[in-house]
């Protein structure tokens, strides 16, 4: 039971964040890319815990709602936002109706809501092209920071200096009792792996699209850093799902980057920029393949069993999935409620008293949607993802002839979203902030560049060059 003192402290902390958000709204918005990478660090709030990105998002809702109420701004919405709101409402209904731990499930609804509101915050507070470009630039630097923290933590851990941020124990490597690998300030190696894979694809797509002008060369330096750090972090996450997801993303860049509507990859000379940063990740992979000891043995096992459905971890996941499907049969329409797999698996016992109860979860967002919100919830998630795909493709087709730089951003963010969708088939990361920041940025680009709002590009080559430089 949460004490009155704890609740008072929680409201006081949220009040301070709200005041900060009102006074320094723009600064707090621009700090979100760095706050979402701290998803493995929690702060105690009212007997529970919250992450700093959740606190910042909740605080930013105060100036957003206030400005809408007084008429200072119009609330911007899109189809993705409405689908997300419908999913949240269904989670509340199913939790209140069917959850065996109703209070816990409803609190988890509030927990995911505090993360999902990052999407409307990004959609509404990035008003201009300059703000979107600055936000995107910070997101790239945050990706380097997150991966660098994970890489350093792993190197220190294997050297015998454990500072956290990496799991390198023999038990994790030999018996797979925990997820082995680097995770830095993030929750676990699976999360860092999916994050690194998404930004790796962003870096590769934009490097392939880079031109030879001075501003593009400056951006290329940053992008090469993104590709190098994310490639190494991806390898050191020891996460097969993230590896496969990144491969799917890179394949999408290769297949669709030359299509008529996208046309991102513009020549072999541009692709040479990718060689050096990707070579860093390849070198780390080769070293691990040849390295003796636990790390090398586990890495070779995961590489050689990349899609082996008989491996130990896959068998454990399949058992979990079968249990989840069996539970879903009882409430197929609206599901059991938010994050109810653990209390159901405990069969009436206080599941939160078990040491490893947090390991009782469904690591697949599709099956999680079916279990928690039923077939109706799966339909809503399908609608949400379909809306993202349709708006991205429509915006790409409209932008490519008139604004190739913005089209490059949309394409890179769209493929990064595809990477997350593949990676999250083995770890459900949609309860964290960084996927919604990426999707929110994609939504902001699509909103700003809706086909009916796009103006034609300048007619002369000189004017076109000036236009591209101004919006870069």
Residue with more model confidence, 261 or 230: 230
Residue 399: how many CB atoms within 10 A of its CB?
Answer: 24
Q: What is the structure's pLDDT at 258?
A: 59
Written as six digits, the tokens of 165 are 């941020």
The average pLDDT across 364-381 equals: 93
pLDDT tens by residue, 195-238: 999 999 999 999 887 665 545 556 788 898 999 999 999 999 98
* pLDDT exceeds 60 at position 296: yes
Written as six digits, the tokens of 207 are 């490097």
Q: How far is CA 11 from CA 5, 55, 127, 184, in A?
A: 10, 11, 30, 30
Q: What is the structure's pLDDT at 148?
A: 96
Q: pTM (2 decimals)?
A: 0.85
Q: What is the structure's pLDDT at 405?
A: 84
Report yes or no: 187 and 195 within 8 Å, Cβ to Cβ: no
Is residue 362 very low, low, confident or very high in pLDDT (cuts 50, 70, 90)? Answer: confident
- CA-angle at 363, arms to 360 and 366, nearest 5°: 125
Q: What is the structure's pLDDT at 460?
A: 40
Distance CA 371, CA 362 (A): 9
Least confident of 136-145, 226-235, 291-300: 291-300
Please return the burial class of 229, using the count of CB atoms within 10 Å of its CB with bins 0-12, 13-18 and 19+. Answer: buried
* pLDDT exceeds 70 at position 350: no
Alpha-carbon torsion 12, 17, 20, 21, what sign?
negative
Please return the burial class of 159, using the count of CB atoms within 10 Å of its CB with bins 0-12, 13-18 and 19+. Answer: exposed
Alpha-carbon torsion 257, 259, 264, 266, what sign?
positive
Residue 384: how many CB atoms within 10 A of its CB?
Answer: 18
Return the C-alpha torsion angle 445, 447, 448, 454, nearest 10.
110
Report yes or no: 399 and 410 within 8 Å, Cβ to Cβ: yes
Distance CA 237, CA 147 (A): 10
Q: What is the structure's pLDDT at 379?
A: 95
Written in H, E and C, the secondary structure of the chain is CCCHHHHHHHHHHHHHHHHHHHHCHHHHHHHHHHHHHHCCCEEEECCEEEEHHHHHHHHHHHHHHHHHHCCCCCCCCCHHHHHHHHHHHHHHHHHHHHCCCHHHHHHHHHHHHHHHCHHHHHHHHCCCHHHHHHHHHHHHHHHHHHHHHHHHHHHHHHCCCCCCCEECCHHHHHCCCCCCEECCCCCCHHHHHHHHHHHHHHHHHHHHHCCCCHHHHHHHHHHHHHHHHHHHHHHHCCCHHHHHHHHHHHHHHHHHCCCCCCCCCCCHHHHHHHHHHHHHHHHHHHHHHHCCCHHHHHHHHHHHCCCCCCCHHHHHHHHHHHHHHHHHCCCCCCCCCCCCHHHHHCCCCCHHHCCCHHHCCCCCHHHHHHHHHHHHHHHHHHHHHHHHHHHHHHHHHHHCCCCHHHHHHHHHHHHHHHHHHHHCCCCCCCCCHHHHHHHHHHHHHHHHCCHHHCCCCCCCHHHHHHHHHHHC
pLDDT tens by residue, 382-397: 999 999 999 999 998 8
Question: Residues 6 or more apart from 445 whose CB is under 8 A from it?
Answer: 132, 395, 406, 409, 410, 413
Distance CA 444, CA 5 (A): 40
Q: In the block, which residue shows the tokens 């699209």?
A: 209
Alpha-carbon torsion 422, 426, 430, 433, what sign?
negative
* pLDDT exceeds 90 at position 434: yes
The average pLDDT across 155-170 equals: 85
For the chain, the structural domain boundaries read 1-75, 76-310+359-471
The average pLDDT across 68-81 equals: 89
pLDDT tens by residue, 313-331: 667 677 778 888 888 888 8
Residue with more model confidence, 248 or 312: 248
Least confident of 103-107, 196-200, 264-268: 264-268
Q: How far is CA 230 from CA 14, 38, 234, in A?
A: 33, 16, 6
Q: What is the structure's pLDDT at 324?
A: 83
Q: What is the structure's pLDDT at 420?
A: 95
């Amino acid at each position: 039971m949460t004490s009155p003192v704890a609740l008072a402290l929680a409201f006081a902390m949220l009040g301070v964040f709200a005041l900060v958000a009102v006074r320094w709204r723009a600064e707090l918005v621009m700090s979100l890319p760095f706050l979402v990478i701290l998803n493995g660090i929690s702060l105690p709030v009212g007997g529970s815990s919250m992450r700093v990105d959740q606190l910042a998002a909740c605080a930013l809702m105060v100036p957003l709602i206030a400005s809408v109420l007084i008429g200072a701004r119009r609330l911007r919405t899109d189809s993705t936002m409405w689908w997300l709101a419908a999913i949240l409402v269904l989670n509340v209904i199913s939790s209140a109706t069917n959850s065996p731990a109703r209070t816990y499930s409803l609190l988890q609804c509030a927990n995911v809501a505090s993360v999902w509101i990052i999407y409307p915050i990004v959609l509404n507070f990035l008003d201009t092209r300059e703000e979107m470009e600055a936000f995107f630039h910070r997101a790239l630097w945050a990706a380097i920071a997150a991966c660098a923290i994970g890489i350093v933590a792993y190197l220190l851990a294997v050297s015998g200096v454990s500072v956290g941020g990496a799991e390198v124990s023999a038990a994790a490597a030999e018996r797979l009792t925990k997820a082995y690998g680097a995770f830095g300030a993030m929750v676990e190696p699976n999360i860092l792996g999916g994050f690194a894979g998404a930004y790796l694809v962003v870096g590769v797509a934009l490097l392939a699209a880079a031109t030879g002008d001075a501003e593009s060369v400056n951006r290329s330096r940053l992008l090469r850093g993104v590709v190098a750090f994310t490639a190494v972090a991806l390898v050191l996450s020891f996460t097969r799902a993230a590896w496969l997801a990144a491969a799917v993303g890179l394949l999408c860049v290769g297949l669709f980057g030359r299509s008529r509507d996208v046309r991102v990859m513009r020549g072999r000379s541009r692709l040479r920029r990718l060689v050096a940063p990707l070579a860093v990740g390849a070198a780390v992979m080769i070293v691990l393949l040849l390295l003796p000891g636990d790390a090398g043995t586990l890495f070779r096992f995961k590489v050689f069993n990349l899609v082996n459905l008989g491996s130990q971890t896959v068998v454990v996941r399949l058992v979990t999935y079968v249990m989840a499907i069996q539970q879903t049969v009882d409430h197929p329409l609206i599901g059991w409620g938010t994050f109810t797999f653990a209390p159901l698996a405990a069969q009436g016992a206080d599941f939160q008293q078990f040491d490893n109860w947090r390991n009782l979860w469904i690591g697949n967002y599709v099956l999680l949607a079916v279990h928690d919100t039923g077939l109706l919830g799966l339909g809503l998630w399908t609608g949400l993802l379909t809306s993202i795909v349709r708006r991205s493709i429509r915006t790409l087709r409209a932008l490519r002839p008139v604004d190739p730089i913005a089209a490059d951003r949309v394409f890179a963010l769209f493929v990064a979203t595809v990477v997350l969708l593949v990676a999250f088939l083995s770890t459900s990361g949609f309860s964290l902030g960084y996927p919604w920041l990426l999707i929110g940025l994609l939504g902001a680009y699509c909103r700003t560049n809706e086909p009916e709002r796009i103006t034609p590009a300048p007619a002369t080559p000189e004017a076109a060059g000036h236009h591209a430089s101004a919006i870069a």
